[in-house]
Each structure stands twice: as structure tokens, then as C-alpha cells.
């Protein structure tokens, strides 16, 4: 039996049939994938996944490679997603329920601590997003309670970590922003005020990096002005060392910006009624008055104006210490001459002019000190004594003078003509016709 030969070129290759099946399956899978949308992640899922990624980054900070880079990028996306949930975007507003779920999960575990610890390992955009997330979480209320405050009270050492960030210019501004948001809670601010970290701010404010120094100044001001009762208590308990540092390192700094910001902050502190006890102690110090009078002599008008607002407290004090009165009287003429030409550049300020007029009146009418009064009495008595001596000498010499004048006076006849002049013996004779 003969078998027909088949041309090999006419055979259908099996491989092309297999490739066709693979192509069809891929196409079908893509179509189904486009039709079936993935289940959206909840805020809780986003926080948990962020926590796992931060834990990986914390444990593998020094690891490199493609996988590590991919993990960093994934962390960046998750932090951005957290920000969108809390702040919303151009298409939608933040949902209250989603924000509440995110906040509860964020503080349930150590996600907050991990985010702050790992911040230096993130890129710049992720740091900015993380700063915004931390700021928003401080304001989120769960059942009318700020759970961020409760968390921070139990983890106050996080504040030490944030404050130390001023020593690293790369993260100082991000940590500084987070720190100011955290001290919105009074218990947290009280901890920072009473800690040794407070002394570090006098050095941070003078750092050569302008942006870092300005941020430290903003935090310092927030600590000393936000929670009034806590600040008043702090200043009363720490008056001596605090104002000694404030005067020497800030008000007498060689840096113009530091002096300007310091004298303005001093005015904010002393003019606040809650700090009246500290204010009374401050304005009864001769050394403090000397510093303020030197600031009045600054070439900067801004420093002069801010210094004036503090100086007027010294002048208005009804119970001035003798040393204060002596200094003001000794410099009375110089002060009056200064105030006569002390004007503000920006138009007429009625309140400023009224304050200046009141200060001028007080300086002009200061009562004399006991020393000055004693000097005045001595000069008066000396003048009175000289006057009495002069009167006595005049009285003693006037009788002989009158006698000589009478002896030289000619006698007149009935017609009024001078006829005879009686001259005492020994004197020349004259006749008047």
C-alpha cells in the first residue's frame, strides 16, 4: 500500500497554535481585569500598610538595591494617600468618618512614633506630606476628645526627639512644624517648658542657618505665649535663670535679627496680664532698664518702637525702686531730648503718640530722690547764708555813708539859695552861691 507524502511546508506548526492560545488568554484576562475593579482600600488598611512599610524602613535603613528603592517609593505613595484622606483633593472633600477611622488606627499602634523616627530616611516630598499628616492628626476629635493629646501624654519622649531635630538642618523645619502642632496641647507644652530642652532654644535661636533659627524662634514664641496659665506658672518658678539668659543671649546679642525678635517677644510676654508678677519683677531691675535704654538708642526704628513699648512699663510703674528712679532722673534730659524727635514712619498713630506723651509727662515730673533733695537744700541754705551776709555788710556800712552824705549837704536860705556849707574839721572848704 502506497502512502502519500505530505509536503513539510504545508504542515501547520504546533507552536503557532500555542502562541495563539496564550495571546487569547492574555487578552481575555486583560478584558476581565478592566471589567472587575479592585476593592478600594479602607483608611485602616492604608494606615496598617504604612506601618508595615515604616517598620521595614526602620529595620533596613542602610540597605540599598532595587527592592529597597521600591519600598521607599511605596511608602511615599502611602503617606500621600494618608494626606489625601485627611485633607481631601481637588475632586472631593475629606470624609469625617474616614478621618476618624484613620486617626484611631494611627494612634492604636506606634505608627506615629515610626513616622517621626523614619522621617530623615524619606525624600523631601514625603517629609512635607508627613508634616501635614501629623499637623492634621492633632486636631482630629474622636467622640469630642483629642486622642492625639492622650497619646502624646503617654509618649512625651517623642518631644525630645522632635526638639533635637534643630541640630540637623535637613529635617529641622519638618520637625519644627510638627513640634509646634504638638504643643497645641497644654500638657505637652508644660512638659517642654519644664524640661532641660528649654535651655537649648537660646542656642537654637542663634544658629547661623537663618531658616532654622527663625523656625526655632517661632517655636520658642509659641511655647511662651499660647498657654497663658502654664506660661505664668513657668516664669514665676524660673524667673532668675530664664531672664538672665534672655537678656544676655538674646537682647544683647550681636545679631540684629535676634535682638529685634527678642525685644518684640519680651513685649508680648510682659504686656500680657497673666504675666503681671513676672512683669513687676522685671521693671524693678536697674540692669533691665539699662538694657532697654540701650535698645532705645538702636539705629533700627523697629527695635526702638518695640523697646519703647517695654520702657513705658518702667515709667508707668507706680512703685519704682529707688535705683530705677535714680537712673531715670540722671538721664531725664537725654530721655526728653530723645522723645522729642521720636516719631514713627507709618503715618499718624494716635495710640503711640498718646503713650509717648504720657511717658514724657512721667519722666518730666519725677520727684527728687533723697540725695537730690539733700543737695537742693544745701544749695538753698548756702545761698541764703550769702544773702544774709550781704545784708549785714550793707547795714553796717550804710550809717557812716549817710553821715558823710549829710555833712556834705549845703544849707539853704529862705530863698532856696545855697549859702553855707558846714565842712567837718580837716576837710576842704567850698562855697556855693
Q: For residue 251, is it within any domain?
A: yes
**For 385-410, what is each residue's pLDDT tens digit?**
665 556 556 666 666 666 665 555 55
Q: For residue 247, is it within any domain?
A: yes
d(CA 338, CA 331): 11
Q: For the chain, how many structural domains are there in total?
A: 1
Q: For residue 295, is it within any domain?
A: yes
Residue 257 has pLDDT above 60, yes or no: yes
Q: Which of 305, 324, 414 is nearest to 363 (CA)?
A: 324
> Max CA-CA distance within the chain?
209
Domain that holds residue 277: 228-328
Residue 195 has pLDDT above 50, yes or no: yes
Q: For residue 236, is it within any domain?
A: yes
d(CA 213, CA 250): 12
Half-sphere exposure of 50 (CA within 13 A, CB side): 33
Mean model confidence pLDDT for the chain: 83
Residue 219 has pLDDT above 90, yes or no: yes
Q: For residue 287, is it within any domain?
A: yes
Give me the mean pLDDT over the 201-226 stretch: 96
Give me the mean pLDDT over the 225-229 stretch: 96
Residue 350 banded pLDDT, cuts 50, 70, 90: confident
Q: For residue 366, is it within any domain?
A: no
Residue 371 banded pLDDT, cuts 50, 70, 90: low
Q: For residue 271, is it within any domain?
A: yes
| C-alpha cell at position 200 | 537649648
List, in order, residues 6 or more apart from 317 with CB less than 8 Å away: 280, 283, 284, 324
**For 89-144, what is each residue's pLDDT tens digit?**
888 899 999 999 999 999 988 899 999 999 999 999 999 999 999 999 999 999 88
Q: For residue 34, is it within any domain?
A: no
Amino acid at each position: 500500500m502506497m502512502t502519500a507524502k505530505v509536503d513539510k511546508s504545508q504542515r501547520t506548526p504546533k507552536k503557532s497554535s500555542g502562541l495563539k492560545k496564550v495571546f487569547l488568554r492574555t487578552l481575555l484576562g486583560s478584558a476581565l481585569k478592566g471589567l472587575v475593579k479592585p476593592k478600594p482600600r479602607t483608611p485602616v488598611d492604608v494606615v496598617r500598610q504604612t506601618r508595615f512599610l515604616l517598620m521595614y524602613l526602620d529595620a533596613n535603613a542602610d540597605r540599598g538595591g532595587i527592592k529597597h528603592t521600591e519600598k521607599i517609593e511605596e511608602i511615599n505613595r502611602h503617606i500621600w494617600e494618608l494626606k489625601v484622606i485627611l485633607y481631601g483633593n481637588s475632586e472631593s472633600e475629606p470624609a469625617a468618618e474616614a478621618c476618624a477611622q484613620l486617626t484611631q488606627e494611627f494612634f492604636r499602634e506606634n505608627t506615629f512614633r515610626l513616622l517621626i523616627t523614619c522621617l530623615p530616611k524619606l525624600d523631601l516630598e514625603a517629609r512635607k506630606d508627613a508634616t501635614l499628616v501629623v499637623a492634621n492628626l492633632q486636631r482630629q476629635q474622636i467622640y469630642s476628645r483629642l486622642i492625639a493629646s492622650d497619646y502624646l501624654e503617654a509618649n512625651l519622649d517623642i518631644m525630645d526627639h522632635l526638639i533635637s531635630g534643630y541640630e540637623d538642618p535637613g529635617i529641622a523645619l519638618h520637625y519644627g512644624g510638627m513640634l509646634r502642632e504638638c504643643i497645641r496641647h497644654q500638657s505637652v507644652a508644660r512638659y517642654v517648658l519644664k524640661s532641660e530642652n528649654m535651655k537649648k532654644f537660646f542656642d537654637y535661636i542663634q544658629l547661623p542657618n537663618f531658616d532654622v533659627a527663625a523656625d526655632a524662634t517661632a517655636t520658642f514664641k509659641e511655647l511662651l505665649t499660647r498657654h497663658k496659665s502654664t506660661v505664668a506658672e513657668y516664669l514665676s518658678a524660673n524667673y532668675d535663670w530664664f531672664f538672665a539668659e534672655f537678656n544676655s543671649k538674646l537682647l544683647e546679642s550681636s545679631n540684629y535679627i535676634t535682638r529685634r525678635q527678642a525685644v518684640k517677644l519680651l513685649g508680648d510676654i510682659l504686656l500680657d496680664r497673666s504675666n503681671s508678677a513676672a512683669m513687676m519683677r522685671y521693671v524693678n531691675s536697674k540692669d533691665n532698664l539699662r538694657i532697654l535704654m540701650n535698645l532705645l538708642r538702636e539705629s533700627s526704628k523697629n527695635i526702638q518702637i518695640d523697646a519703647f513699648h517695654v520702657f513705658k512699663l518702667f515709667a508707668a510703674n507706680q512703685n519704682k525702686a529707688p535705683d530705677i528712679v535714680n537712673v531715670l532722673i540722671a538721664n531725664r534730659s537725654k530721655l526728653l531730648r530723645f522723645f522729642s524727635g521720636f516719631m514713627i514712619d507709618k503715618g499718624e498713630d494716635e495710640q503711640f503718640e498718646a503713650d509717648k506723651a504720657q511717658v514724657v509727662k512721667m519722666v518730666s515730673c519725677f520727684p527728687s530722690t533723697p540725695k537730690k533733695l539733700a543737695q537742693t537744700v544745701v544749695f538753698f541754705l548756702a545761698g541764703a547764708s550769702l544773702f544774709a551776709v550781704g545784708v549785714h555788710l550793707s547795714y553796717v556800712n550804710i550809717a557812716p555813708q549817710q553821715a558823710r552824705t549829710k555833712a556834705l549837704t549845703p544849707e539853704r536860705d529862705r530863698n532856696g539859695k545855697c549859702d553855707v556849707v558846714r565842712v567837718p574839721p580837716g576837710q576842704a572848704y567850698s562855697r556855693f552861691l
